[in-house]
Amino acid sequence: MNMIGIGFMRRQQGAATLIVVIVLSIVMGGVALTTARTGVMEQQIVGNDLRAREAQEAAEAGLEYGLAWAKSNTIPNNVTCAAGSLPNGCPSALPPVVGTSTGESYNYLLTFTKGSDAIRVTSVSQGSNDASITAQSEAWVKQIRKSLFGSGMTMPPPLAASGCITGTKGSPTTYLLGVGNLVAASGTSASSTCLPQGHMNVNLWDDANNNGVLDTGETGVSDNYNVGTFPGCPGTECAWNNYFEMSLSDAKQEATDAGHVYTSIPCGPPNSSPSIYVVNNSGPINSSDITGSCSGVGIDNRTIGGPNNPVLLIIPSGYGCPKFNGSIRVYGVIYYETATACATNGFGGAEVYGAILIEGDAYKFNANTKFIEVDHGSGDALNDIFQMSVDDATRIPGTWKDF
């Protein structure tokens, strides 16, 4: 082989070597790039998994906080609680949850949705710096209220006393929701001697527009003076014990703990639970004893409670039997603890949507007084409308979490 041929072959070998080197370099570069990308993707996946787990844990933390709140606090029909917006019924906002693995912080949103028999508590967490990181967890709870009224218990009749109700003068009027409903009940006797009609007028009424107020045109025909008895008397607080499940001392304590002990009574519906007031006022109680400015359907500055927000007013025995007059309107129950003072004291000038309940005898209901029967249901429905405090909340088994 001549020298020219040898040189040509050497050049071909060099070119082949170069090509192999280049190809290997490209392959190695691709492998390195792929490896780098795979590493980055794995880091991203791991990071996303960590953030997703932290977001779920944050949602779980929010849910547990919401469930703990529901164990002892009244929940409105539907309320959403965010850090910058805490309407009535929301717990205090907690600071963002910080993940220990990533350092990411998470805010959460609590929503309470009240159903017919239970409350759905929903917690949604979201990354503070990345809103795409989110998780949700929810559970249903049933709140157990303290029982002012027991199962099956209803509102007392317009007038109820452990003793007798006599001497009615001046044509006061009782308005009943149905024919044959009781005007008055006694723990002693239903005789005409113990529960005489006197000058009491009796009419039917129909809440045609369902606003809880006796409006013009809603008065019907007259009815009989229907009376009855209740058991347990004579006995200490026997009238109270017949119509309420909670003891009188516990009810007073509930009012005291809530700051609902008054000499002057705030107008309108209660602004906190429970709807129980202790009234330390020997009366007469008139518009000058009601404070604040109130308005609404059936509500003004002389109104205690509201059509759908009745109040239980407890007059302790030390304050006797003060009459309510001066065109005062009361939604709820007025309870007189005294066993003697109402036997000689007249009543007059008030509208009572609910009942007057007396330990002992009552004497001389008189003109310009209206006793209006209302129906707020029974048992738990009454405890709800009187805003009884929440005693506990039970998590319903089988309610699920959205992972």
Report the share of the chain in percent with pLDDT over 70. 84
pLDDT tens, position by position, 128-174: 777 777 888 888 888 777 889 999 999 999 999 999 999 888 889 99
Q: Is 287 helix (H, G, I), strand (E, B) or coil?
A: helix
pLDDT tens, position by position, 353-373: 999 999 999 988 887 889 999
Q: Is the pLDDT of residue 18 over 70?
A: no
Q: Is 233 helix (H, G, I), strand (E, B) or coil?
A: coil
Task: Find the distance separating the first CA and the last CA of the chain, reported in whole Å.
Answer: 79
Q: How many CA atoms lie within 13 A of 163 on its CB side?
A: 19
| Short-list 280, 162, 180, 278, CA closest to 221 | 180
